[in-house]
Structure 1
Amino acid sequence: MTALPAYIVDVRRLDQFSAIELYDMLKMRVDVFVVEQECAYPELDGNDPECLHLRLMNGPELLACARLWRPQADANPRIGRVAVSPDHRGKRLGEALMREAITECEKAYPNEPIELSAQAHLQRFYASFDFKPISDEYIEDGIPHVDMLRDAR
């Protein structure tokens, strides 16, 4: 396994990105979720303006990204759109991204549980961060998923 590359954590609201930064992040998400996973779904779902966007960067290069948000006032905070650049897979960036996403989610939403909708084959990965299944498996956009929850800390 290749060593984890050096990275900096960048967390911002959507309107704080330059056009190029926003393009790079959205392109990665489309490349991973729509093209690579062959999943036709509305990537631009109208929720991004309400989210915090976390990026792992190496200089100007985007390594990985995720979004953090609360979909409704009475809902738990969520981590979603977790993506690692295909050029940087196998370098433990997924683990780094999740650690940083949990940290930032806990800063933004202290003492609250965190939810995510996991692709079913990634349950063990998310369980390593103390997420537990809270739903049966279901199909979302043609891919088996399961809802998972990490208790408040």
Structure 2
Amino acid sequence: MAEVTLTIKNNNKLNSSELITIMQARVKVFVVEQNCAYQEVDDEDFNARHVYLTNDHGLVAYTRIISDDDPNYIRFGRVLVAKSYRHQQFGRQIVTETIKEIRRLYPEKDIKIGAQNYLRNFYESFGFQAVSDVYLEDDIPHIDMILSEDH
């Protein structure tokens, strides 16, 4: 497995190069690869906490942590692994690091995600439980899942 560096920064601490690298990767995966035209960069990014893995070649994996409208929850999303690094456990690594960071900052909150349905078993392996029926978001089947704070 390639050597990677973990970085966790609030949006206002990213330099312009880091921000552009993150946005390029997100648009590449969520807009181009998934053929889904939507406002990928959104208002949530202003206050997001970005969690990402890099190596000498660039961004490997990424998530963002954002607050939820419900004060009992914290959310993360935009989970991606760059195409050339998939199937090398970087998805598991970035989600693990994201959960650790949320537990450090918000130990009393449950974690809520809107997962793509095909990744349901992946998230269940971390202890997430489905709390909704499958629904379409941008024509992609999703499911709401929660990881309780005692998990």
TM over 0.5: yes
What SS does the corresponding residue of 1:67 show, helix, strand or coil?
Answer: strand
What SS does the corresponding residue of 1:25 show, helix, strand or coil?
Answer: helix
1:111 corresponds to which of 108, 113, 137: 108
Do the aligned residues in 1 keep the contact of 2:7 with 2:53 (CA within 8 Å)? yes
What SS does the corresponding residue of 2:27 show, helix, strand or coil?
Answer: helix
Do the aligned residues in 2 keep the contact of 1:5 with 1:91 (CA within 8 Å)? no
- Structure 1 alignment gaps of length 5 or more: none
Q: Which amino acid is 1:94 matched to?
A: G
Q: Pairwise mapping of residues 89-128 of structure 1 onto structure 2 (< 5 A)?
A: 89-128=86-125
Cα offsets for 1:122-152 (capped at 9, x unmatched): 1000000000000000000010000000010
Q: Which amino acid is 1:33 matched to?
A: F
Q: Which residue of 2 aligns with 1:56?
A: 53
Q: Which moved more, 1:58-67 or 1:10-19?
A: 58-67
- TM-score, L = length of structure 1: 0.93
Alpha-carbon separation, structure 1, partners of 2:135 and 2:78? 18
Cα 1:144–1:73 change in 2 (3 A) is closer
What SS does the corresponding residue of 1:97 show, helix, strand or coil?
Answer: helix
- Structure 2 alignment gaps of length 5 or more: none
- Measured on the aligned residues, the alpha-carbon RMSD in Å equals 1.3
- TM-score, L = length of structure 2: 0.94
Q: Which residue of 1 aligns with 2:9?
A: 12
Q: Answer yes or no: is 1:30 the counterpart of 2:27.
A: yes
Q: What number of residue pairs does the alignment pair up?
A: 150
Q: CA deviation at 1:21?
A: 0.9
Q: CA deviation at 1:95?
A: 0.5
Using the aligned pairs only, state the percent identity: 35
Q: Which residue of 1 aligns with 2:137?
A: 140
Alpha-carbon separation, structure 2, partners of 1:49 and 1:111? 24
**Superposition misfits of 4+ residues, deviation over 6 angstroms:** none
1:47 corresponds to which of 31, 44, 62: 44
What SS does the corresponding residue of 1:65 show, helix, strand or coil?
Answer: strand
Q: Which residue of 1 aligns with 2:146?
A: 149
Alpha-carbon separation, structure 1, partners of 2:2 and 2:91? 12
Q: CA deviation at 1:13?
A: 0.9
Alpha-carbon separation, structure 2, partners of 1:55 and 1:136? 30
